[in-house]
Amino acid sequence: RLYSIVRDWAMGKSSPLVTSAKEDIADSASPNGSSDVLLDLCCGTGTIGILMAKYFRQVIGIELVPQAVEDANTNATAKGITNAKFIAGPVEKLLGPQLQQLKADGVITDTSSVVAVLDPPRSGLNGKVMAAIRECTAISRVVFVACDFKQSMKNIVELCRPPSKRYPGVAFHCTQAVPVDLFPHTKACELVIELVRKSPEAEASDTLMSQ
């Protein structure tokens, strides 16, 4: 259920409460636009990116741990996935150059929709990662998987706060969230949150109202 929600929201579907029949249709459907790109940030061994590769023209996974990246590429090869690439390094340093390369290769155009999936560790992410996401204007939507909502709240705020020198770029806003109980009879609960980039007009209006 967790991965199906992430998949649906990354593809722009509004409701996570779909029936099995609708999920089967989604599984067999073509991507919504052949130029869509998925960024699997903090990708680990590539589970999310590999599962969603058939819905996107290109999947780029970034992970700090080299061994996890090696496993991700091995997993993609084993599954016959040819449109996914996983690279090792800090997200805040690799995100910009990777998007620039995709633009140079013609994978990303002015009409492309770039979606980022974030599945960070329990401790959350460095603010530099959030700033890098905000600064990459091609990213129109973020699907955030929070295993500890209290720790993730800081990152959500960093994505949604008004623009500043530290957090440049048009802010995102939360559109929907759903808890997923992966561990019944425990206090642990995953929370999947969809964030959509504000329009420049909405951002300007919010800034004016806050003054």
Binding-site members for S-adenosyl-L-methionine are 63, 119
Q: Is 147 a catalytic residue?
A: yes
Beta strands 37-41; 58-63: pairing state = parallel
Q: Angle CA(147)–CA(149)–CA(153) in degrees, nearest 5?
A: 130
Give the alpha-carbon dihedral of 142, 159, 132, 147, to 10 degrees: -60
Binding site as annotated, residues? 63, 119
Tokens of 184: 């019944």
Which of 43, 136, 147, 160 does the annotation list as catalytic?
A: 147
Active-site positions read 147
